Amino acid sequence: MPTAPKAITAYFAALEAPDSLKPTEDIARIEKALQQKDLPMLETLDLRLELDRLNDTSDAVRKLEDAFVKGFPSYARKAKVALPAALKALDGIVDKPVIDRISSGEHVNGTAAKPTNGRVDQNQIIAWMAEQTEPFMYTTIEESLGCGRSSAERAIKAAGDCVVAYGQDPVSGRSKAFVWQG
């Protein structure tokens, strides 16, 4: 997953120019192939289906929207703006369902908030880590899932080789962040 500023920029770019997400060279190649005379009907059908698939940007936009929803709260924090005020600023820029996804807390871990008993088990932390595509820190785990440092440390240890240290603090030699290598 891209960093918050990159996620914001990529999503806005996709909203402004959705055709930029299309593989233009592949589309041109298929359109040229469809202009050939005496193409077998099955090949024509296959080429038209492929052309439709290449022109459909909905999956790419959905992934960019997911990254935007997840990254916007940290973007607002870094801008030193309270989330409610930042969400008001989004009004008229992005669709209301996107704003609703951010305000609902869906960005926290992609699903619902922590369990009703208030405890986050190790499997939930490991599942969350497995969904991450960017480096994450103990504090990221703690803030996203509402668990304590010791729970985050135990989950990273339990994940074994699936979690790899990424970068080190030059003073303490401790890992600054982790990457899921599944």
H or E segment and range at residue 23: none
**pLDDT, tens digit, 9 for 90 and up, residues 57-107:** 888 888 899 988 988 888 888 888 888 888 999 988 988 898 888 888 765
pLDDT the model gives residue 133: 79
Domain boundaries, the chain: 4-103, 122-180
Strand-pair partners of 175: 168
Distance separating the N- and C-terminal Cα atoms of the chain: 15
Given this structure, which CATH class describes domain 122-180?
mainly alpha
Mean pLDDT of 103-125: 62
pLDDT bin (cut points 50, 70, 90) of residue 168 is low
41: tokens are: 């009907």
Radius of gyration of the chain (CA): 21
In this predicted structure, what is the pLDDT of residue 119?
A: 76
Lowest-confidence region among 30-39, 93-102, 103-112: 103-112
Who's near 15: CB < 8 A, 6+ residues apart? 94
